[in-house]
Amino acid sequence: MDSGTDAGRGGVSRRRFVGALAGTVALLTVPAPAAPLGEPEPPAGRRREPRPEAAAKTQAPTGASRPRPLYLGTYTSAEGGGTGIGLATYDPATGRITGAGTLKGVADPSYLAVHPDGRTLYAVDERADGGVTAVRLADRRILGTRSTGGAGPCHLSVHPTGRWLLSANYGSGSVAVHPIDASGALGERTGLVTHSSPPPGPGQQGPHAHQFVTGPDGGHVLAVDLGTDTVYTYRLDPAKGTLTEVARAATRPGAGPRHLTFHPGGRYAYLANEVDNTVAVCAYDPSTGRLTVGEPQSTGTGSGTSYPAQILVTANGSYAYLANRGHNSLTRYAVEADGARLRLLDTVPVAGDFPRQIAFSPDGRLLFAANQRSGTVSVFQVDAGTGELRLAGEPFASPVAVCALPL
């Protein structure tokens, strides 16, 4: 739940597909394929800076770390929000972020993902008339926008084959599939499923799909639905891009499951439950796609509601981290028994307000936290041996920061 502010069972006013909830529905404009964006808009009061690719070549002195690209999601229709996808670079050694302008032309790009080949960026258009947009990174040209067939898309991911884009419509409780062609552009939707059963959980008025992700076997895709307290497993047809439901996993009523991440061993996953302030270890059967949800565990944030947002696990499978929005912290867990057990270690202040999303740098040495209400991105150094987090300098200011994607 959440997307600006969350309403739902937990009592935070939700800000999904912003215009609709404000009573002014903004219609999605679909740009023509390969429409040029021109030069990115620099932040107010700043001179125009080189593109991230150029910055990597011109700004790094001899012997220094080469800057890497960082893309930032926001709400363009929110008060104080951004004007498009934020552009920045970061130092992979120190974590220091440097702004590089804005990529305009995408409405409410609240969640971002990149193609496995690194050449195309995808963004949700979190509006009442939801869409997904592809942007070619080499020249920052919009390759087109496609309808998700639902309202308020809040999450997307790219299938590991690079052939399919998966998106979750929070407002309508549905998930969609779009084909990706050789250029990275999106084709017409091939799959759309609305979660019509089971009935909504306690305090919910309907289904709310919050995540759509590929299982470690590659043949199954899993949709986490906060409204129905269910994780749905579908078989994805690799040729047609259609969905066939094969299993359902129920959480306890009122848990409000939001985000799932898999252990690298492929047999276990970890589920963040937004409403009841818990996490759960889940067993996963790659042959059937069946997920079995374990007992709820503490987030270490006390008795108050902390609205867990996202959980990550390190590439070596040793540690997991949970973002807690109400508590404004990151919970650290030790992963034990080859992934079958989480042991709570501690919580660390996030140095921001309402950490909506977290992400590792590709080498796993840095953890980025997008803090929605403070409009900042915090960066932490990750100790490979102990899993301890150390804040890497002052957080970076980014308007209504709801997603940070380091490449």
Which CA distances in Å does 155 have to 86, 171, 220, 335?
17, 12, 17, 26
Return the percentage of the chain with pLDDT > 70, whole number. 84
Q: What is the pLDDT of residues 385-396, one digit of tens each?
A: 999 999 999 999
Positive/negative CA dihedral, 133, 136, 142, 144: negative
Query: In this structure, are residues 346 and 353 in contact, taking their beta carbons and an 8 Å threshold?
Result: no
- Structure token digits, residue 270: 């970890």
Report the distance separating Cα 391 and Cα 399, nearest Å.
Answer: 20
Element (H, E) at 19: helix 18-21
Residue partners of 337: CB distance under 8 A and separation at least 6: none
234 φ, ψ to 5°? -120, 150
Report the distance separating Cα 388 and Cα 112, nearest Å.
Answer: 27
- Structure token digits, residue 358: 């977290």
Give the DSSP letter string of 54-93. HHHHHT--TTSPPPEEEEEE--TTSTT--SSEEEEEE-TT
- pLDDT-derived band at 255 (thresholds 50, 70, 90) equals very high
Query: In this structure, are residues 110 and 126 in contact, taking their beta carbons and an 8 Å threshold?
Result: yes
pLDDT at 30 over 60: no
Give the DSSP letter string of 235-300. EEPTTT--EEEEEEEE--TT--EEEEEE-TTSSEEEEEETTTTEEEEEEEETTTTEEEEEEEEE-S
Report the distance separating Cα 312 and Cα 169, nearest Å.
Answer: 22
Q: What is the pLDDT of residue 372?
A: 98
End-to-end Cα separation, the chain, in angstroms: 26
pLDDT at 58 over 80: no
Q: What is the pLDDT of residue 64?
A: 56
- At 399, the amino acid letter reads P
Residue partners of 38: CB distance under 8 A and separation at least 6: none
Average pLDDT, the chain: 88
Q: What is the pLDDT of residues 259-316, one digit of tens each?
A: 999 999 999 999 999 999 999 999 999 999 999 999 999 999 998 889 999 999 999 9
Of the segments 10-19, 32-41, 64-73, 224-233, which one has the largest average pLDDT value?
224-233
